[in-house]
Amino acid sequence: MGKHAREFRRMVVEDPSIRLAAVFEGTSGDDRLIGTAKADTFHAYEGGSDRLTGNAGNDTFHLGGAFDPIDGGDGRDILRLNGDYSAGLLIDRTMLTGVERIIYGSFPASPRHDYALTFTEDLHDGATVQTLTIGSGDHWYELANEVTIDASAMTRTRLDIEGSIKDDVIRGGQLADRLAGDSGADVIYGGGGRDIFEFRGYDAEARRSFDTIMDFARGDRIELMGYGTDLRLGAPDGEAGTIDIRYARRSDTTILTISTDETPRPELIIHLAGNHDLTIDDFIF
């Protein structure tokens, strides 16, 4: 057990007169870090076989390449991953529970910080439905690289997933999720439930590539944020303010082309696998 971390724990947890939140610095040894009832911060970058317990309070856990078991406890807890997770992680409740948000990224920028996370079950016990937010939505960590997230095994979790600026593969769970690939050429599966696929108009990269939704189904919707609120379904002529819909038989793909201005270049292209007869009700503006 890491000496420094152990002393920290004793000081913070075993002395009831100290009620401040703690900042834990893990060591290269096997640290057992137990948080207070306040908003604690855990840094476990140094290796070893650690166990991190947040207890109550809105705790933040920082990991950097390895994955140590984390129990966030009560409160709204955040796990920040800043390291190379490209080899792929299978995550179950013995590894991660009681955490409501996962932020991945790379700071400083590194070409090797890719994230391949597969959740083999929900991260909470019991029948209640909880929300898990996953993304790089934080200016500090916006330099995220490719992410592959598979939450298809989750049946009691509503996912709010944001991809990276690169080409991602995102699989939602069995309930109604909100999924956003961000820029890059992303491949997105909603899974079960009435999912919302989100596209943001201020994302200039979206003009240069397109996302593909693999399992769009009745009840799913496409949310177009920042493309105007009066878009209409139109003929495929690039007219301003239209969503043109075309079925490409050869690739069995429905191609949506969104034009917001008079230039011939579309502002957004979305591919849906299969042939879909869409109406305006399939969209949210």
Contacting positions for Ca ion (CB under 5 A): 35, 40, 54-55, 57, 59, 163, 168, 172, 177, 181-182, 184, 186, 190-191, 193, 195
CB of 232 to Ca ion, least distance (A): 28
CB of 119 to Ca ion, least distance (A): 13
- Residue 71 or 195 with smaller CB distance to Ca ion: 195
- Residue 26 or 190 with smaller CB distance to Ca ion: 190
Residue 263: partners with Cβ closer than 8 Å, 6 or more residues away: none
Helix (H, G, I), strand (E, B) or coil at 200: strand
Nearest to 198 by CA among 172, 150, 162, 167: 162
CB of 250 to Ca ion, least distance (A): 26
Nearest-angstrom CA–CA distance, 180 and 132: 14
Count of C-beta atoms within a 10 Å radius of residue 163: 28
Structure tokens, 78: 């955040």
Nearest to 81 by CA among 107, 58, 56: 107
DSSP 211: E
- Residue 150 or 186 with smaller CB distance to Ca ion: 186
- Residue 236 or 274 with smaller CB distance to Ca ion: 274
- Residue 114 or 182 with smaller CB distance to Ca ion: 182
CB of 13 to Ca ion, least distance (A): 10
CB of 44 to Ca ion, least distance (A): 15
